[in-house]
Chains A and B, each alone.
Chain A
Amino acid sequence: MESQNIRDKKEAAVEVKVHLIVFKLGTEEYGVRIDQVKEVTITPEITRMPKTPSFIKGVSNIRGDIIAIMDLEERFNIERSTAGTQSKHTYTLVMEAKDYTMGFIVREVPQSLSLPVSSIDKAPSFIQDININENFIEGIGKIDDRLIIVLDIYKILTSEEIMELKS
C-alpha cells in the first residue's frame, strides 16, 4: 500500500491516474474506483432472502460479516451476455459505503486497470440510458479500443430504491 502511494505520487507529477476494477455486465465493460472495493472474492453460497426485490440475490457470509448480495445486471436490466467464456464461478465485488457493505455479482474475473484521468469523459448529458440512471455513471473511460463505463458506486449504494426496501 505504502509503495503504491509513493508510486502514485511520483506519477501524479506526470499524469494523474485512476485505478479501476473493471468487470463486464452484459456485453459492456464497467469500472469502479479501486478504493471503493473492499475485496473481490469467488461468490460464496448465497442464502435467498424472500421478500426482497429480485435484484437482491440474498445474503452471504463473507468472513463473518453477513452482507446483502446484489445482481447489477438485474438491477439495471442489462441483458446477460451468453457469449464469451462461461466460467463455473461468479465473482463478488465487496463494496464499502459509509455505513454498510454490500456485494455485487459479476460473471467474469474482474481486472484491475489504471487509466489517466484525462481519458475519462464526464458522463455526457445526452446519455439518457434508460437502463442505468446517468446519476450512477461517473464518466466514460477510453483506453485503446475499449470503452469503460465508470460507475459511482456510492450513488448506487445510497440510491433510494435500495434504501427503501420494505416488505
Chain B
Amino acid sequence: MKSRDQEYKEIFIAEALEYYDALNRHISDLEKSPEDEQLLAEIFRLLHNLKANAKAIGYVSIADVSHKLETAFGLIRNKELNFSDEVVTVLFDGIDMLGEMITNIDSPKEVEPSPALLRNLDIIVNSISENTAELSKVQKYYTSKNLSLSDLIYIQIKKLDHLLNLVGELIIDRDRIVSISKELDNEDLKNVSAHLYRITDELQYSVMDARLVNVGSLFNKFPRIVRDIAVAEKKEINLEISGQDIQIDRNILQIITDSLLHLMRNAISHGIEKADMRKKLKKTPQGNVFLSAQNDRDTVILKLTDDGKGIDQQEVRKAIVQRGFLPAEAAEDLRESEVLSYLFEPGFSLAKEVTEVSGRGVGLDVVKNAIDSIGGRIRVDSKKGEGTTFTLFLPTSIAVKGALLCQVEENFYAIPLMHTDSVVALPSVELHEVGDLLVADINGETITIVYLKELFNSELHEYSGKKSKLEGDVQNIIIVTYNNRKLGLIVDKLLRQQDIVIKALSKPVNTIEIYAGVTLLGSGKVCLVLDVAAITRYFIARR
C-alpha cells in the first residue's frame, strides 16, 4: 500500500498539471481578448489554488512562482499593469516554467526556477512604471517541449459502477460454467473453466480495487468541521484521527458521510460537556474525540469515541416506556446493550426528554438506515459519565458479500455474514415455549428462536413457535445479530459459506420486507437473501 504522502503527492501533481493545462489555454485566449474579465478571474483562481496546494504539500518554489504570477495577474485585473507584449512574454515564460517544475517534481533533474525569470516577474510586478527595458531575455533551457499526459485519470464513479455490475453478472455466469464443467467431467472444459475462474477473480479484484479510496479522504475533512462545530458550541475539542490509510469502496464512504458527520455533531454538541463542567468532573478541559478506522478481513470498522457525559441508561429506559415501545417491567428487564439499541428506533428521537438528557437520539434512525442500506452494522457503547462510542461495521466493497447459505424446505436462502453471529446445533429439548415464541439459553443469553419453516408457511401475525411443530431431535440454528440484538433462526439444513452478488428484487416483489434481495447460485438456482434487519425488527417488536 502506498503511503499517504505519496498518494497526496500524486493527486497534487495530477491536479497541478490540469491547472497548468487550463492556464495555458486561458492565457492564449486572453492574449486574443485581453479585456475578458472572466478569463482573468479564472486564471487568477487557478494560480491561487495552485499556490495554496503547492504550499500545503511543501513545494515552495512552485508556490513562489505561482504567487508571483498571481500578483501579476492581480495587477492586470486591477488595470495597474498593461497586458503588453513584453508582459505577455514574461507571463508565458512564467507559466511554462511552472509546467516544467510540476512535471519534474521528484525527478532527478528537478527544475529550479530560472533567476532571470523570477527577476523579470519582479520587475513587471514592482515597476508599475513603463520601464520594461530592464526585462532580460530569459534563457529558455527547456526549449524542446515534450508533450506528456498525466499518469492519473479522473473517471466518473458511474462508469466504475457499471463495470462492477458487469463483473457481478460475469461472476454469476462463471460459477455456472464451473459447475456445469464439473457435471460434464470433460478435462478441456475443466481446464478452461479453472482459468476463467482465476481471470474473473482477478478482474473482480481489480475493479473493486479501482473503486477503493482512503478513509482519509473523508476523515481529513473532519479537523475543520470539528473546529467549526466546537466554535459554534463554545467548546474546546481535541480531535485525534487514526487509520486514514484504510481503504474502502468510494460509494460506501459516500453513503456514510452524512451519518458520520451527524454522529460527530452529536458527540460534540451533546456528548462533550462544557469546559467548566469538565473541570469539576476532573476531566481535561478540552473534550477528546477519537475517530479511527481499522480493517478486519472484509470489514472496515470505523469508531467514533468521545469522553463526554455518556448516555444515561435509566433515562433511556424511561423514554422507552414513555414512547410506548415497551411496558415498564419489560423495559427494566432489558440488557444494557439492548437498551441502547432503542436509540436507533424511528420516532425515538422525538422524545424531547431523551434528546436533552442523554443528548442523543436525533435522527439516529436515519444513520442506521444509511448503514443498513449498504449491509453494514452499527453499535453503540456508552458509560454514563465516561463517554460514548459508536462503532460502524462496513463492508469494504458493495458488490460481493460473504453469506451463509441454508435450506428451508426446497428453497435456498442466503444470510449475509455481516449479520451472522454463530451457528449452533441445539437439542430440541433445550428450546422452550414462552408465549407463542421459542426461546433458548445460548451461552448464557436468552435468545428468541424463530422457526423459519413455520414463519414462511404462516401469516406473519399468526406465527407461533410451538415445539410440537419442530422436526428432528436437533435443530440447526443460525444466530444473527442486528442492532445489538440477537435472534436465532432454525433452518432445515446448513449448506455452506459463499461469496454472493446481491441483486435487488424487481417490482412488484421488491416490497416484501423479509428479503434483502436475490442472488443466483452457480447452479443457476435462484436464492433469496434474507433481510436479517427486517426479521429481527419484527420479532423484537413482537416481544
Contacts and interface: CB of A to CB of B under 8 A. Distances in A.
Contact of A56 (B411, B460, B509, B527): B509
A16 B513 CA distance: 46
Contact of A101 (B172, B506, B518, B526): B506
Contacts of B455: 50
A66 B460 contact: no
Nearest to A158: B508
A165 interface: yes
Interface in A99-154: 99-102
Nearest to B503: A66
Nearest to A58: B526
A67 interface: yes
B449 to A, nearest CB: 18
A9 B514 CA distance: 50
Interface stretch (A22-30, A31-39, A41-49, A83-91): A41-49
Nearest to B504: A66
Given A48-B410, A49-B528, A167-B460, A64 B507 contact: no
Nearest to B535: A167
A8 to B, nearest CB: 31
A52 B520 contact: no
Nearest to B513: A167
A6 interface: no
Interface size class of B (residues with CB under 8 A): 20 to 34
Contact of A165 (B410, B508, B528): B508
Contacts of B514: 50-51, 167
A61 B520 contact: yes
Contacts of B411: 47-48, 50
Nearest to A56: B509
Contacts of A51: 456, 460, 512, 514
Nearest to B520: A61
B486 to A, nearest CB: 21
Contact of B506 (A49, A50, A56, A67): A67
B421 to A, nearest CB: 23
22 contacts: A45-B525, A47-B526, A48-B409, A49-B509, A50-B455, A50-B514, A51-B460, A52-B509, A59-B518, A61-B524, A61-B526, A64-B172, A67-B506, A68-B506, A68-B508, A100-B507, A157-B508, A162-B508, A165-B508, A165-B509, A166-B513, A167-B513
